[in-house]
Amino acid sequence: MIEKQIELLRNQVEKLNDKKFDLEAWKNHTIILLDGIFGNESQKIKQIEKIEYEYNSWSLRDTSGNNIYLDSCKKIGREVLEASITELETLGTPVKTTDQDKISVNIILDALDDELKGSQFKAMIKLLKSEQSAKEKSRQLRDIIKELESETIINILQSIILHEDFVNAIPEK
């Protein structure tokens, strides 16, 4: 899989050398590829989106200057793609968080925030964000949950399960 991703990005680098190079078409294609590999929140996509060809009066008057502006655009694009390829070769395919993942986390955080006392919620978040080992976090989290009233635990679980986004995310059978 990673080899195919690298090959796709290398093909985009090669397109920078085409005689009939179209910057906007190249950018759109590159953004689609980077989105599929790194996710739509990737800095790489933001860098490609920033690439703009200068259509100011000086660049239009100076026929030799047109190539300079376009070469600058191509250089930036090449650098972004080369960095992406190096990242894939070194670190492998990144784990992408989707909007659905963010919704799921927000559903849980909202339920906890609604049902826990402020101090309990803050203590839980502080524990989860701490540098402690997973085993130690698990032990302390268990202690926090044991201290909760059973009605609070039921309300948290009920709030998560009945949340509209959670219900909508359940696959049809």
pLDDT in tens, 72-85: 899 999 999 999 99
Domain boundaries, given as residue ranges, for the chain: 2-91, 99-169
SS (H, E, C) 150-167: HHHHHHHHHHHHHCHHHH
Give me 74's structure tokens.
């191509």
115: Cβ contacts below 8 Å, ≥ 6 apart: 152, 155, 156, 159
pLDDT tens for the 173 residues of the chain, in order:
889 999 999 999 999 999 899 999 999 999 999 998 988 888 999 999 999 876 554 444 455 545 777 888 999 999 999 999 999 999 888 876 566 666 678 889 999 999 999 989 999 999 999 999 999 999 999 999 999 999 999 999 999 999 888 888 788 87
The answer to whether the beta carbons of residues 2 and 92 sit under 8 Å apart is yes
Q: How far is CA 65 from CA 11, 15, 27, 60, in A?
A: 27, 21, 21, 8
H helices present in 2-129, as ranges: 2-15, 23-38, 43-50, 57-61, 63-91, 99-115, 118-129
- Whole-model pTM? 0.55
